[in-house]
Amino acid sequence: MMSTSFRLAAALALGAGSAAVHALDLANPRERLDAYIRATGDTSGRESVTYGRATVYAHVPGAKPRALFNLEVVGVSRYEPIEDGYLRLHREIGYYTDLETGAVLERWRNPYLERDVEVIPIQNDPVNRRFTVGSSTFKVLESGDDVVFYREVPLRYPNALDRATYGRFSSGDFYEAMEMFNTFVKRRDLEGERTSVPATGSWSRVGPWLPWMEMGQYDGYLIYHSQSVKPQDGVEGLPARLRERIAREQPKFLRAPERFTQPDETSWTWFRKVIDARRAAGEAGTPAAPATR
């Protein structure tokens, strides 16, 4: 007859073997991609929500960076499985807010120009991506139960707002920026069966003046520092005042796009549409000479 101690040892060995078989292998490209999507979204095809808050700083040569305003962003994604990965169907909306009160800014006193400017919110629809095995650019850092996925995205391409046509709204003929994303998750969550796991994140960007700031080629640039969460109850987990504002003004931004389309929208292409529509209607919006320093 098998002794109790022998049966216990055998059970422990079998359990250890089972755990090893099902352990997450982030060195495997497919498992790494699936883990990333579970952290940033949901591999089942259900929608997931991200809420981020940022402070936006200005850096002008010869001066210490100064905080200008805050930013609240909501993104809603749906990941569609494809043969070699996922299509991300995503749109996002963002509001610039007062540093002290948190109120959404309709107009903002530009301290460099010493006058008020109109604030144009972020309305990027869509911001779609293709994430496939072997071609995704994110990397992984691990320590015990802590897993960090990170992406670094250097950008340089023709500016949607060229200097000749858009004057004071254009920072130059090329858009040049750097964006950096971090997603923090627990290995124990990734080793479970859930298609979407709790995660937090951060986003940083170094880039040109926002078009609505009307800074033109004025020397300097913006620095964004953002923290984000992934509400497990979706849009219901958003701050109520923000969710209610979006539902009232732009309800489509509480849902992901229905289908994958290109090209993507950016704050710059959206701003161009706003200005072009005003010009076509004969409204104010023709740029004056660029601001310089």
pLDDT digits (tens, 9 = 90+) for 230-256: 999 999 999 999 999 999 999 999 999
DSSP string, 119-181: ---EEE----EEEETTT---EEEEETTEEEEEEEEEEEEE-SS-HHHHGGG-S-SEEEEEEEE
Instruction: Please give the span between the terminal C-alpha atoms of the chain, in angstroms, as a whole number.
Output: 90
Percentage of the chain exceeding pLDDT 90: 87
pLDDT digits (tens, 9 = 90+) for 172-214: 999 999 999 999 999 999 999 999 999 999 999 999 999 999 9
pLDDT interval class at 285 (50, 70, 90)? low
Burial call 234-263: b when 16+ CB within 10 Å, e when fewer: bbeebeeebbebbeeeeeebbebbeebeee
pLDDT higher than threshold 70 for residue 290: no
Query: What is the average pLDDT across 271-277?
Result: 97
CA dihedral 242, 246, 249, 251 (to 10 degrees): -160
Write out the E strands in the chain. Answer: 47-59, 66-82, 85-97, 107-110, 115-118, 122-124, 129-132, 139-143, 146-158, 174-186, 200-207, 221-229
Residue 251 DSSP label: G
Count of alpha carbons within 13 angstroms of residue 6, beta-carbon side: 3
Percentage of the chain exceeding pLDDT 70: 89
Closest C-alpha to 75, from 36, 127, 25, 110? 127
For residue 122, give both structure tokens: 């972020």
d(CA 81, CA 165): 41
What pLDDT score does 23 carry?
85
Residue 209 φ/ψ, nearest 5 degrees? -55, 145
For residue 70, give both structure tokens: 């805050």
- Is the pTM higher than 0.85? yes
pLDDT interval class at 286 (50, 70, 90)? low
- Which residues have C-beta within 8 Å of that of residue 167, sequence separation ≥ 6? 216, 287, 288, 289, 290
